Each structure stands twice: as structure tokens, then as C-alpha cells.
Amino acid sequence: MRLIALAFLALSLSLLLAVVPIQAATTSNLNPNDIAWLHRDSFGLDTATVARYRTLGRNVLLDKQLKDELGDALPADINAQITGYEAFHTPVELVLTSLQQQQQQLRTLPDGPEKQAANKAIQAQSNQLVLQAQQFELLHAIYGQNQLKEQLVWFWLNHFSVYAGKGRVRWELADYEQNVIRPHALGRFRDLVMATLQSPAMLEFLDNAQNAKGHVNENYARELMELHTLGVNGGYTQQDVQQLALILTGVGLAPVDGKPQNFNPQMAPLVVRHGIFEFNPQRHDFSDKVLLGQTIKGRGFDEVKQAIDMIVRQPACAHFISLELARYFVSDDPPPMLVSRMARTFQRTDGDIAQVVRVMFQSQALFTQAGKKFKDPMQFVVSSVRLAFDGTPIANAQPLVGWLNQLDQPLFGRITPDGWPLDGDAWSSSGQMAKRFDIARAIGTGNNQLFTPAGSTARTGGFPMLTTRLYYQAIEPYLSSATRDALKKATSQQEWNSFLLSSPDLNYR
């Protein structure tokens, strides 16, 4: 992969002759291990991240991040943008109620221009809600102070992947990111699984909202074990999938039409409601089940709780989640000893995500694998913007969404439930590198609309100045000779920026 990136960069630079003057470097008090650790701890370096590391030290910073003591505060301008998003100040039940009312009204209209206009209005609002959810995630990734948490939010969004293009999922994405994944990113894995299990987005994406006695749908049960908890070779059988599907009958969503539901008096005490989530006992199979060799007595939603407890306490779950975390943060093929230590911690702490991550971030593997982990598109785009604009609030996050689309990793755009690949080979083709160079050039030259508010025609902002103290202290000392040679051939600061951002050094971490 490194050879592909170098070859592409060399080809792109071969016709360039002039040299950009380079300022004298400032002595850094960060050693290579500090830089390697920060590149894994954050989406990418900026001045505030480096300053916080210097002030607190590695251990204190890690502790504060894992305890979520840095908070989710964002710059005022960024917070103002997010506050204006309809998706994030409207409860999901109201969003879905509005959708249903619009759809009912649409059905009453005769075919013709008025009906077409109403349908287009629904589609436009739907697309806007997706865009807002995508921008929310990207803005938090770029400007969030707790960069370790922000990476875990992205990791879990991908691990518990949902697809915006299915049914009403796009109307539920904001709730999924804000109220399901983010609050549990550093908590106990069991709580995270239960949160996803009760989320409208997951229940509709994997069809459990239609799972009922006599009409059993196994889709969610299968992916819950294969993709979310135990892994492909997690020791379960097709019979376990079938039994879990029966346990999950009745786990779905409450109607949003405002009509009162009538439950059998014997069933009414067994109804479970959290927001729009509903366990409907009248749709549940109350037979006894055998899951992973253990009998689960038919008694309602408590079966679901018992099943999840059993699944997340399996050694296979501890190993699978630890392996996936290590693949994301450390290496495509992480050291087995590291994964084993993480898995033991997972079991010992009853799935405490923060403690498992602590083992990983205190391991030597972060340093031995430094510079070898190829960035996925999300990491590339976010790290480039963090470095280029260094905390300066952007006014328009839509170009960021567009860049991820160009790089074939649209947020909430994975059709299959397995999430985007974690390995570098999936993202390092020559076509991918060409697209990355185009995006690096857009950022490096300032030709990107990031500082032009959406809907405005005025050109604002300019190209970033990447030859800063941050560059000389934390990046320049560790550049490869190939990248240094390439940078010397730039004919302007804009080209120099583009070459740096597209270099192999900044495509790996």
C-alpha cells in the first residue's frame, strides 16, 4: 500500500520544479512515541490536542478521556450550526409522527402536480435529515475535545451499522447517533447492545420491528450474534439463531398514529415502553427456548435481557470485540497477545469498554505498529481538516459529506449490515489515492466551500497555512525522505499544502 501511495505521489509531482521556502524548525519536546500515541488517540493532530497532551501528560489525558471528563463541548460557531439542525432538537417520535401525517395526507391527494410536489417535499426533508446526521457526526469528529471518545463513536456507529436508505431509517439517524451510540461509547458493552436493540433505526434496518409470533424474522437475531457480539465463528448454531429470533418476537416500535392500543388485561403488565420502543407481549412467543445450551423460560422482555447477558458474557464476545477494536486502533493484524489481554479485561470487568481500551492504549503495540495503519476515508478527511484549519470553525460541513461520498465511504451508506472494512487494503487502490489527492488539493488550495455558508454564493476563506509551529514540532521531524523531496518541488504554498496532505505520511498513522 505504501508503494502504491508513493508511486502515485511521485507521478503527480514529477512535472513540478520549483521549491517553497521552508522556515527553520522549532525544537520539539515530543518524541516519536508521543506522536505515534497521539495519532492513534485522536483523529489527527491539531494545536489544542498537542497542547492538552503536553499539559496533562499521557496517563492523565488517557484517564480523563476514558472517564469522559473532557465533555462534548464544541466551539460556539459549530454548536450554533448543530443547534439549527431539525434532526437534533426534535424527538424521534415527533419526527416519525410528522412523517406519518405527511404520508397520510399524501394518500388523500389525487394524482397530479400537487401530489408530486408533496412527495418531493417529503423526500427533500428526508434527505435533509440524513445530511444533518452526517454533518453532526463529522463536526463532532473534527472539533470534539475528547478525540478518543469521538473515534469510539465512529467505531461503534460502524460496528452497529445501519443504512440510511432503508425505510424510515433516515428519519431516525440523529436519534441513533445522539441518544444510542454516543452516550454508551465508553460504557459497558452490554448497555450499548441493549441500546441498539431498542433503537428505532436498528429495529427497522434489520427488520425486528416485524418479528412476531407466527411471523418470525431471523434477520436481526443472526446479525446480533454474527456481527455485533460473537463473530462469524462465535460458537453458535443456526438453531441458536432461530431460538434468539423467538426470544426477540414482540421487540419493536409503538405506533405513532396517536391511537390508543388495547392490550389483553393479562398482557398489559408485560408491556415495556421507552420512548418509541415497545415490547408488545401480544406479539411475543412465550414458549421456553434453549440458547447457547441454556434454557430460557418464556416470560416476556426479561427473556431478552437474559439472552443478551448470556451472549455478551461468552468468551467469544470478549475476543471478537477486542479484536475489532485492535484492528481499528492498532493494526489490520493486531498482536494476538494484545487481543488476549484486552479480552481478559473485557471478561474481568463485565465488558467495560473504557477498561478494554485502556489496555490497548497502554500497550507497546501502539508504538511498534506506528505509521503502519492506513487511514480509512473518515480518518483521512477528518485528520486533514483538523490539521489544515487547526480549530478554526468551518461554516459549511456539506463538502465533508461529499468527500466521504467520493471516497466510497458515505456515512450511514453501507447497504449491508457488516459496516465498512477496517483493513487498509479496502481503501488503498490507485483510484482511491487519486480521489484523496483531489480532496487534499481542495483543502490545500482553499477551493472547498468550507467557509461559505450553505446556500450562499459569496466566496469566503482562503487556503490554509500549514507551515506552522504545529507542523515543525509534530510532523516535519518525522516525515520520510520521499515526502520531503516531494515537498521541495511545490511551486506555491497551496501546492505544498496539497502534497503534504496527500503524502503517504499523512495517509498512515
**C-alpha count within 13 angstroms, C-beta hemisphere, residue 249:** 22
- How distant, in Å, are the alpha carbons of 271, 405, 449, 458 from that of 454? 45, 18, 8, 10
CA proximity to 333, closest of 261, 241, 425, 464: 425
CB 378 within 8 A of CB 34: no
Residue 261 is predicted with a pLDDT of 85
Residue percentage of the chain with pLDDT more than 90:
82
CB 34 within 8 A of CB 59: no
Does residue 11 register a pLDDT over 50?
no
| pLDDT tier at 458, thresholds 50, 70, 90 | low
| pLDDT tens for each residue of 252-281 | 999 988 777 889 889 999 999 999 999 999
| pLDDT tier at 194, thresholds 50, 70, 90 | very high
| pLDDT tens for each residue of 47-94 | 999 999 999 999 999 999 999 999 888 999 999 999 999 888 899 999
The answer to whether the pTM exceeds 0.75 is yes
| pLDDT tier at 16, thresholds 50, 70, 90 | very low
Does residue 222 register a pLDDT over 90?
yes
Does residue 463 register a pLDDT over 50?
yes
> DSSP string of 287-316?
S-EEETTEEE---SHHHHHHHHHHHHTSHH
Highest mean pLDDT among 1-5, 20-24, 192-196 belongs to 192-196
User: CB-based burial of residue 232 (10 Å sphere; 0-12 exposed, 13-18 middle, 19+ buried)?
Assistant: exposed
Residue 459 is predicted with a pLDDT of 62
- How distant, in Å, are the alpha carbons of 7, 153, 190 from that of 387? 24, 21, 36
Distance (Å, whole) CA 214 – CA 284? 9
Q: Which of residues 170 and 111 earns the better pLDDT score?
A: 170
| pLDDT tens for each residue of 406-416 | 999 999 999 99
| pLDDT tier at 1, thresholds 50, 70, 90 | very low
Say how far residue 88 (Cα) sits from the centre of its chain: 17
Does residue 25 register a pLDDT over 90?
no
Residue 6 is predicted with a pLDDT of 46
